Chain A
Amino acid sequence: MEDKRVAMNIIPRNTETVLLAVWKLKDGAYGLAIIDQVEKDTGLKWLPGTIYGTLARLKKNGWVQTTKIEQPPNQVGRPRIYYKLTSAGMKKLIAAQEAVRGVWGGIPNLEKSR
């Protein structure tokens, strides 16, 4: 179900984090890699269900697409699923960045200025 909220370009933080991780990993965005990236970015170990649940929803919304890539012949294992941002997803990310920048723009380091 498309988010019909008026003038709400801010997206939930979980979704944002996962989406950004997918973007950062470019062509290397598969399940485990995303999980590791998110852990690196936030400093917290997320439960796999949260990430996969988000990924499932992103795919349903059409912001992310999956591709099955066969492993190169020298590696063992089943074919891997790679995640990639769609153009809609990209648009969403750009709008979110705008919105966040608007809110956070110009805010000095809050820790320092307490």
Chain B
Amino acid sequence: MPPFARFMPWLLRRLADDEIRISILEYLEGEYANDLERKGPFFGGLRYVFRAIQILFSLLAETFTWRLSMIRNYLKTFLRSGRRQKIYSFVNVAGLSMGMICCLVIALIVRDEISFDRFHPRFDRIYRVLTETQGAGRPSLGAPTALPLAPALKADLAEIEKTARISDQTSCLVEAGAKSFYEDLLFVDPEFLEIFSFPLLAGDVRSALAQPSSIMITGRMAKKYFGRENPLGQILTIQNRGDFRVTGVLRDIPRNSHLRFDFLAPISTLSDLPRWTAWSQFSNDYTYALLSEGTEAEALEAKFPAFLKKYLPEDLRGDYGLKLQPLEEIHFSSIRHDIAVTSDKKYIYIYPAIGLFILLIACVNFMNLSTARSSRRAREIGLRKVVGARRSQLIQQFFAESIGLAVVSLLLAGGLVKLVLPRINQFLRKDMAFDPFADGGLAAGLLALTLVVGLISGSYPALVLSSFQPAAVLKKQSIVRGRRHSFLTMSVICQFAVSILLIICTMTVFRQLNFMKNRDLGFPADQIVALPLSGSPIVNNTETFRREILQNPAVVSASISSGTPASGYGITMDFLPEGRDESSKISMAVIFADFDFLATYGLTLVAGRDFSLAFATDKTQAVLINETAAKKLPWDSPLGKRFTDGEAGESREIIGVVKDFHYDSMRSRIEPTAIAISSSLPRFLSAKIRPENVAQTLAFLETTWKNHAPRNPFSYFFINEEFDNWYRSERRLGTIFSVFAGLAVFISCLGIFGLAAFSVEQRTKEIGVRKILGASTPGILRLLSGEFLGWIAIANLIAWPVAYLAMKKWLMGFPYRTPMGYGMFVLAGLTALGLAWATISAQSFKAATANPADSLRYE
């Protein structure tokens, strides 16, 4: 028996009827028998296989022949029409590509955002414990938790399988040999690596943090400190904490993790801290829990009040509660004092909507253009029908064309996305990949996108064009005008409405940004440089260091303080005004400073006086407050009054009121602030320097630093530059919106471009006649553009109220906001009108200045 002979009957059964099958089998077997005799079994078998394959192939081709040739025909028509009408093809492809690029990038971004933290296998059982406090009448959630919480939770509640704490210690000095840097360290319970799965490059995950002096580092830290040497077993010295041995190397933490760190050390190292056993002290400590299988979060939360009752001392009980936050929400949350990498949920909802809108605009363009140009194809359609094409075949043809265009657009879009992705990754601090050959889901998505775009764009023209009656068409009767006008009008209006909306949003965002940047900070922020002192030996010697700095004439003034206006409200304390009861307690931000603080920062007094060495009691008895604090205090004139510090019981006298100054980004209100002389927390040295020769002054500062703290790296920042950083997310928003707006406007103009081109073509004869009758060029331009410009005016009327409401809502989130001027709306409208007019004019001008003789001869 020849090879594969067993399969032949089965295969043939599928491709031919019974008798043909028998006929073929008879033939094959006959020839094989002959070959066996003459050529032997090997060649006989070979020839059998060849014959069999050839027959199967031919039968297959017979089945598909007619369809294949139709597809070939469609392809020919498609390419021919593409080549002939280059403008329209370009417009269509350009528009669809832009829309697709938009969708693709947004899809990548959304996918990345949703994928945060999903690489942990126990993703759906991991929760973070949040502290709920009553503040200003409303409950507010904070991420920091008390350190003793986690072990107690694990011990008492069976629903909790594991707990792990994280303590975030920033700016610790880490040394290895000659290298020393300031790093952020995470101190964690060993269970941290059991709850979360961060893969290791070296070391054993079970024992890596078992020893108290062990530390785990990421691959890139290993390279930074130890170069090519094996990091395992090496020693890292942490300031004030001693030596730690590297017991494990982690793979660099992926970007889509809400926790980003480079060092892990056992949290037991911090057991000497007073808050180790305190239930009421919160710092940068966070608690995570792994719930046992089948536990409902709400059910567990219900048990918390009883649990807290057991552990909290009497006086704290009213103050706080606990809540569970699922891991999948952490990345999108905005909780107070969070260390998580968070992002706005806006990304997931609004941007895809905008992207789809833009894609829709592009599809609508295609539809309009195809239908508008239908008269050109009328002859072809009529002829096809006459030679027997059925309507379904015509519909197939048009869909084939629109899908073909979609495919070309996709290829273009894909190429551009790949080119542009690195910039986008940089801009958004992400690590997205676009590799349809490796990523099955992505490839499927691309295919689906092409099909959907092709089908949507092609639907309208396919249905309309295929319904043409051949007789009417071949007699060149006018087919199209009338009824579809409304669709055309509506789509142009919608496109421009969306574009104008986006333009206004972009303008508003940038305006608010400018407003925040230029708003008076309450003090002159330029030429002030700050040096962080924490962790250096200078903290024990601040006055000496300060005096030495002042020796340089370029340094106008220098001050040691617990914070800077660029560092945010670090310390908050409660104060009781003298003579009032508990209910009048006020929470205020506190700055521990020295006598030169006001001078260095150029803060002005509105009442009273500054600290002065002339008054001996200023050091311990005096305090300055800002205007906001003064308003909150119950007295008309706060000068001379006293208030008490809640915990330590000290009381101070208000000697002056400082003009309000911004101590945080413009996104927060100015809080009541108190400034007192104290050297208990010397975290920064701030120096006001002269504008000339800044580089030299900085060099001087560095040298002085090195003299006092040789083992600490020198670092500094300018106060006004720091303030700029606050607005990074608004700046990003502005850029994103401007990109969207640009795209929308571009595509809308593309649409108008195509329609105008077509409209001009249609009316060439009419224009010729008008010219002969004496119409002027501007008159004709006005005629041609009038229709479109009217539509755009309507688009404005739609866009303005929507934009106004949307932006008003957004601005509400800022305590200090720019007024929304009418100018913006008008400007946006005029921009749209101007661009549209320019697009139309390009076409119209040619027609309006053409020789009427040529126009009338045009056929």
Q: Check if B17 sits within 8 Å of A81, measured CB to CB.
A: no
- B→A interface (CB under 8 Å): 16-17, 19-20, 22-24, 26-28, 30, 51, 54-59, 61-62, 66, 387-388
3 smallest beta-carbon distances between A and B, as pairs: A49-B58, A53-B58, A81-B23
Enumerate A61-114 residues with CB–CB distance to B below 8 Å.
Answer: 66, 68, 77-81, 83
A39 smallest CB distance to B (angstroms)? 13
A1 at the interface (CB under 8 A from B): yes
A1 smallest CB distance to B (angstroms)? 6
Contact A32/B22 with A47-B58, A49-B56, A56-B59 known, Cβ cut-off 8 Å: no
Chain A residue with minimal CB distance to B19?
A66
Q: Check if B22 sits within 8 Å of A55, measured CB to CB.
A: no
Q: Check if A48 sits within 8 Å of B23, measured CB to CB.
A: no
B-contact bits for A14-38, CB 8 A (1 contact / 0 none):
0000000000000000111001000
Chain B residues in 8 Å Cβ range of A57: 62
A44 at the interface (CB under 8 A from B): no
Q: Check if A53 sits within 8 Å of B61, measured CB to CB.
A: yes
B42 smallest CB distance to A (angstroms)? 20
Q: Check if A50 sits within 8 Å of B58, measured CB to CB.
A: yes
9 A-B pairs with C-beta separation under 8 A: A30-B23, A48-B54, A52-B16, A53-B59, A53-B62, A66-B19, A66-B23, A81-B19, A81-B22
Additional A-B contacts beyond A52-B27, A53-B61, A68-B22 (12; CB < 8 A): A6-B388, A30-B23, A32-B26, A32-B30, A48-B28, A49-B51, A49-B54, A53-B58, A55-B23, A56-B16, A56-B17, A66-B23
Q: Check if A52 sits within 8 Å of B26, measured CB to CB.
A: no
| Interface of chain B, main secondary structure | helix
Q: How many angstroms between the C-alpha atoms of A55 and B59 in the bound complex?
A: 10
B260 smallest CB distance to A (angstroms)? 65
Q: How many angstroms between the C-alpha atoms of A53 and B61 in the bound complex?
A: 8
A86 smallest CB distance to B (angstroms)? 14
Chain B residues in 8 Å Cβ range of A77: 26
Q: Check if A49 sits within 8 Å of B59, measured CB to CB.
A: yes
Chain B residue with minimal CB distance to A83?
B23
Which of A1, A4, A66 lies in contact with B20, CB distance below 8 A? A66
Q: How many angstroms between the C-alpha atoms of A32 and B32 in the bound complex?
A: 13
Q: Check if A52 sits within 8 Å of B23, measured CB to CB.
A: yes
Chain A residues in 8 Å Cβ range of B30: 32
Chain A residue with minimal CB distance to B66?
A1
B434 smallest CB distance to A (angstroms)? 44
**Which interface residue of A48, A52, A55, A77 has the most chain B CB atoms within 10 A?**
A52
Which of B20, B55, B387 lies in contact with A59, CB distance below 8 A? B20
Q: How many angstroms between the C-alpha atoms of A72 and B79 in the bound complex?
A: 60
Q: How many angstroms between the C-alpha atoms of A50 and B59 in the bound complex?
A: 8
**Which interface residue of A32, A47, A56, A83 has the most chain B CB atoms within 10 A?**
A56
Contact A80/B59 with A52-B20, A66-B20 known, Cβ cut-off 8 Å: no
Q: Check if B55 sits within 8 Å of A6, measured CB to CB.
A: no
- A→B interface (CB under 8 Å): 1, 4, 6, 30-32, 35, 47-50, 52-53, 55-57, 59, 66, 68, 77-81, 83
Chain A residues in 8 Å Cβ range of B16: 52, 56
Q: Check if A78 sits within 8 Å of B20, measured CB to CB.
A: no
Q: Check if A49 sits within 8 Å of B55, measured CB to CB.
A: yes
Contact A68/B57 with A4-B388, A6-B387 known, Cβ cut-off 8 Å: no
Chain B residue with minimal CB distance to A81?
B23
B219 smallest CB distance to A (angstroms)? 61
Q: Check if B27 sits within 8 Å of A31, measured CB to CB.
A: yes
Chain A residues in 8 Å Cβ range of B66: 1
Chain B residues in 8 Å Cβ range of A32: 26-27, 30
Chain B residue with minimal CB distance to A47?
B54
Chain B residues in 8 Å Cβ range of A35: 27
Contact A79/B20 with A48-B54, A53-B61 known, Cβ cut-off 8 Å: no
A77 smallest CB distance to B (angstroms)? 8
Q: Check if A31 sits within 8 Å of B55, measured CB to CB.
A: no
B85 smallest CB distance to A (angstroms)? 30
Chain A residues in 8 Å Cβ range of B388: 4, 6
Chain A residues in 8 Å Cβ range of B54: 47-49
Q: How many angstroms between the C-alpha atoms of A52 and B30 in the bound complex?
A: 15
B73 smallest CB distance to A (angstroms)? 14
Contact A31/B58 with A59-B17, A66-B19 known, Cβ cut-off 8 Å: no
B61 smallest CB distance to A (angstroms)? 7
Chain B residues in 8 Å Cβ range of A55: 20, 23
Q: Check if A79 sits within 8 Å of B55, measured CB to CB.
A: no
Chain A residue with minimal CB distance to B20?
A56
B68 smallest CB distance to A (angstroms)? 14
Chain B residues in 8 Å Cβ range of A6: 387-388
B16 smallest CB distance to A (angstroms)? 5
